[in-house]
């Protein structure tokens, strides 16, 4: 079963850094991601989704390939590739996998302008190894699909890890003095 986590950040850059860190942790097999989307609330109040996968581009590439192959059969590979790319892009634009876009937009209406949120849909995670690597970025846990007890345990782990990283920062700064 997958779990949803939504964490709000003060700016888009931080949310993107955390998503990149999650991708890195995924390559290390510490977390199994289904989807990771950064949602930005622009200064004009509009919501912008930064998807990890561009379905239109993937559809266009696949459509161009298949269109070219079919075009070869009718001796018009360029026309087939062009038509296939257009059809693939249109189909990709209507494809929505992972976290529901409308849900992300609705929840992100509560962000202040200039802020961002990271929506993560994860199958599995080694929480004891993942949480300490994400807490230095800060952020506020907004919502999860965990039970109340599990969510509170996660919030405590975030607070404890943030306290440890703040303590290490103080030790380092006092040692540098």
Residue 90 is inside which H or E element, if any?
A: helix 77-93
Burial class (CB in 10 A: 0-12, 13-18, 19+), 16: middle
Give pLDDT, residue 38: 92
Rama region for 146: left / alpha / beta (φ>0; ψ in -120 to 50; rest): beta
Residue 169 buriedness (CB in 10 A; 0-12 / 13-18 / 19+): exposed
The two structure tokens encoding residue 62: 């696949």
- Answer positive or negative: Cα dihedral of 122, 124, 127, 130: negative
Helices 77-93 & 55-73 angle (0-180, nearest 10): 150
* Phi (first) and psi of residue 162, to 5 degrees: -65, -40
Packing angle, helices 12-27 and 127-134, rounded to 10: 150
pTM: 0.64
pLDDT of residue 115: 92
Per-residue tens of pLDDT for the chain, all 177 residues:
678 888 889 999 999 999 999 999 889 988 888 888 999 999 998 988 888 754 445 555 565 566 665 665 566 566 655 665 566 555 554 545 578 888 888 888 888 999 999 998 888 777 778 888 888 888 887 877 777 888 787 777 767 766 665 555 444 333 333
Per the DSSP assignment, residues forming a β-bridge with 22 are none
Output phi, psi for 93, to 5 deg.
-65, -25
Residue-level pLDDT at 61: 59
């Amino acid at each position: 079963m997958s779990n949803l986590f939504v964490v709000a950040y003060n700016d888009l850059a931080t949310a993107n850094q955390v998503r990149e860190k999650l991708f890195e942790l995924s390559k290390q097999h510490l977390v199994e991601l289904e989807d990771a989307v950064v949602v930005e609330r622009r200064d004009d109040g509009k919501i912008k989704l930064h998807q990890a996968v561009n379905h239109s581009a993937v559809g266009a590439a696949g459509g161009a390939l298949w269109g070219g192959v079919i075009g070869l059969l009718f001796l018009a590979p360029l026309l087939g590739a062009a038509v296939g790319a257009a059809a693939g892009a249109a189909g990709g634009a209507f494809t929505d996998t992972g976290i529901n876009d409308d849900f992300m937009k609705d929840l992100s209406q509560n962000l202040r302008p200039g802020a961002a949120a990271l929506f993560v849909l994860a199958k599995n995670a080694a929480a004891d190894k993942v949480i300490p690597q994400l807490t230095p970025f800060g952020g506020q846990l907004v919502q999860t699909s965990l039970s109340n007890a599990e969510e509170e345990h996660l919030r405590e782990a975030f607070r404890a890890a943030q306290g440890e990283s703040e303590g290490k920062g103080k030790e380092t700064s006092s040692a540098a003095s």
